[in-house]
A and B are shown apart, each in its own frame.
Chain A
Amino acid sequence: MSLLRKIYKDRYGYFFLLPHFVVFLIFFLIPVGSGLYLSMFEYNVFSKTFIGFENYKEIFNDWLFKKALVNTFIYTFGVVPLWLGKALLVTVMIYPFRKPIKTFFKTIFYLPHVTSSVIISLIWLWIFNPTFGLLNYFMKLIGLNPVIWLGNKFTAMPSLIMMQVIMGGGSTIVLLSAAMASIPEYYFEAAKIEGANSWKIFSKITIPLLKPTILYALVMGTIANFQTFSNIYVMTQGGPEFSTVTVAYLVYTTAFRDYNLGLASAMSMVMFVILVGLGIIQFKWLGSNVQY
């Protein structure tokens, strides 16, 4: 009774929430629920057989899935720190400059985000091309041998990571810059007067004060990169020798090449659980004094 009264009292909360939530429920939560439900079936679009947890069992006996999982971790943990490091470096470096210069660099770094990831992948495929590509041209200019960037199982994944780091980070730079601008300037002044060097200022003042934004960027970056798909799809199709198969790509081929939608659903559920786990770890590790 009192709950009902409370709900009535707070009806405006629901009033504001509901419009989005209805759309969210129909076009997001229900499809996700169906996905979870389908993961218990052998489902190939036209026939459906309940098989309980068989799909999950099959996943963990499949070396390709394990390989995809390892690759996904390598990719994520390769990209996210480098890209966050780049964003932090850029943010700290542009801080002392005047506004037009700041804006110029923020714009330059943000530009790649404006182009679709498929197009970026197409451009890079062309840059990585062993025969006609720009990268091997530069290699030749500085006297190095051409490299088959995407054709070798040892260089393919690092190449993809490099591309992502070079193109990424723009939105994080914008966010970090904004956060940094909100730090009162006298913090830095005081530290300088006390004779702290740049590194000390960076590690003792900048980083702790930027922590919430860093955490946000870290979680968001992990989520996005863990699901990386279009660069794999366009550039390597998981090759060479499965060295760039990611979970999201495997989900795709399982669903739409093998028409095994139940198995694919189970894979994405596993992926979801891992992402939630990663999120919790990141919150615990960094988030102790962050308001969320």
Chain B
Amino acid sequence: MAKMNRKKLIKNTISLIILLFLGLMAFIPLYWMVVTALKSPTLVLRFPPEIFPKNPTLTNFRQLLGRPYILRWTLNSAIVAGSVTAVRIVLCAMAGYAIAKKKFPGAKIFFWIYIGSMMIPNQVTLIPLYIIVSNLRMINTYWGLILPSIAAPFGVFLMRQFMVTLPDEIIEAARIDGASEFQTFWKIIFPISKPAIAVLGIFTFVNEWNDFLWPLIVTNTTAMKTLQAGLVMIREEIPMEYALHMASATYAAIPMLIVFFAFQRYFLQGITVGAIK
């Protein structure tokens, strides 16, 4: 038995070393971003680089926050990412539920349309999408920023994959209790889909927050830009200032870290997508 334990200990130690090594590799770039952001601008172009900054400074953050519009951009990003996430969760849960549990004519076809759509590269839909958004008079509005992101097919696919695994008996039981179709969904299906919703929610919020190309194109005024689009502007106005760029990258990442840690409880438990039925 003791031998067994020792063997296990050795095995676990080796595992830990490998895990720490792999983890460190993924972590170093992010560490490097934060460290560069904390360096005084003159120290950035120094070789050998300072791995542990001796005199960390907040100059770069001060310069960033001293710029006009930065809070407005942050607010815009929060509004856009927040609304997209909220609406997308509800609509995708509904659509996923319909495809997974409602055996209506065409359900399969809809499912395959959604799956196939995920394989379409988005560069080419850019101009046609812009034309539609423009015709709907949504250029430079929150609507123009929000609606196209809700349309992405992945959310429906994800929710469908999860809801397929729910036992039909739950729905049956609700019906027998006299719940309406909508009540069944809202009071029963939606709450037990929490893990899937957490995954889609975090995924959507992070993606929306980090998206820059569409916000750049669909907004005109500086005040309507999202944070990432605004940061593109800063990077272009002030090229080569790595310390400032990394400070702005860190600034943009902080809200995401907060969201991630707030919801990781649901999220890291995760869901078993497409798993054993």
- Given known pairs A114-B206, A174-B270, the reply for A16 and B132 (CB within 8 Å) is no
B25 & A105 in contact (Cβ 8 Å cutoff): no
Asked if residues B123 and A248 are in contact (CB atoms below 8 Å), the reply is: yes
In the complex, which of the residues B19, B103, B151, B269 contacts A28, with contact meaning CB atoms closer than 8 Å? B151
Residue A94 interfacial (CB < 8 Å): yes
Binds A, one of B28-36, B54-62, B64-72: B28-36
Q: Are A182 and B125 in contact (CB under 8 A)?
A: no
| In the complex, A145 has a CB within 8 A of chain B | no
Q: Is A41 an interface residue (CB 8 A)?
A: no
A182 touches B124 (CB 8 A): no
Contacts A111-B30, A167-B26, A213-B273 given; indicate if A122 touches B125 (C-beta within 8 A).
no
Contact with B along A178-202 (1 / 0, CB 8 A): 1101100000000000000000000
B interface: dominant SS:
helix
Point out residues on A near B: beta carbons under 8 Å. 3, 6-7, 10-17, 19-21, 23-24, 26-32, 34-35, 38, 45, 86, 89-90, 93-94, 96-97, 103, 105-120, 122-124, 126-127, 131-132, 134, 137, 140, 166-167, 170-171, 174-175, 177-179, 181-182, 209, 212-213, 215-216, 223, 227, 229, 247-248, 251-252, 255, 261, 264-265, 267-268, 271-272, 275-276, 279, 290-292
Q: Please report B residues at the A interface, Cβ cutoff 8 Å.
A: 12, 15, 18-19, 22-23, 25-30, 32-33, 36, 44-49, 91-92, 94-95, 97-99, 102-105, 107, 110, 113-129, 131-133, 147-148, 150-153, 155-156, 161, 164, 181, 185, 195, 203, 206, 209-212, 228, 242, 245-246, 249, 252-253, 256-257, 260, 264, 267-277
Q: A131 to chain B: which residues have CB within 8 Å?
A: 47
Q: Are B18 and A16 in contact, with the CB atoms below 8 A? A: no
Contacts of B264 in A (CB 8 A): 103, 107
Contact yes or no, B245 A271, CB < 8 A: no
Q: Main SS of the interface on chain A?
A: helix
